[in-house]
Amino acid sequence: MLKLKPSCECCDRDLPPDSQDAQICSFECTFCATCAGDRLAGLCPNCGGELVRRPIRPPAALARFPASTERHFKPSGCEAAARQVS
Ligand SMILES: [Zn+2]
Ligand SMILES: [Zn+2]
């Protein structure tokens, strides 16, 4: 089951469970669409895997299986990835 992390690892922007802007890799490293596209070129800086849009959990399911509230802010990983891309 997805954890639905609450924020972007690169910029710490809030990504609520119903956000269309959340992007995740297969390990559920979580980024906003801006960081995933502009800074990371669609690749996770932690594992190198592809980033895809996180599916929205329907509200009824979210009530039974709430989203994670644990933030994972790791800007250093994102800067390393940005240097490789540029
Ligand atoms: Zn971001
Ligand atoms: Zn990853």
How far is ligand 2, taken at its centre, from the CA of residue 58, in Å? 24
**Predicted confidence (pLDDT) per residue in 50-62, tens digit:** 999 999 999 999 9
Spell out the residues 6+ positions from residue 61 whose beta carbon is closer than 8 angstroms to its own. none
Looking at the predicted structure, is the pLDDT value of residue 82 above 80? no
How far is ligand 1, taken at its centre, from the CA of residue 63, in Å? 26
pTM of the model: 0.91
Q: Which ligand is nearest to the CA of 40?
A: 1
How far is ligand 2, taken at its centre, from the CA of residue 30, in Å? 8
How far is ligand 2, taken at its centre, from the CA of residue 66, in Å? 22
How far is ligand 2, taken at its centre, from the CA of residue 51, in Å? 8
Looking at per-residue pLDDT, the higher value among 24 and 86 belongs to 24
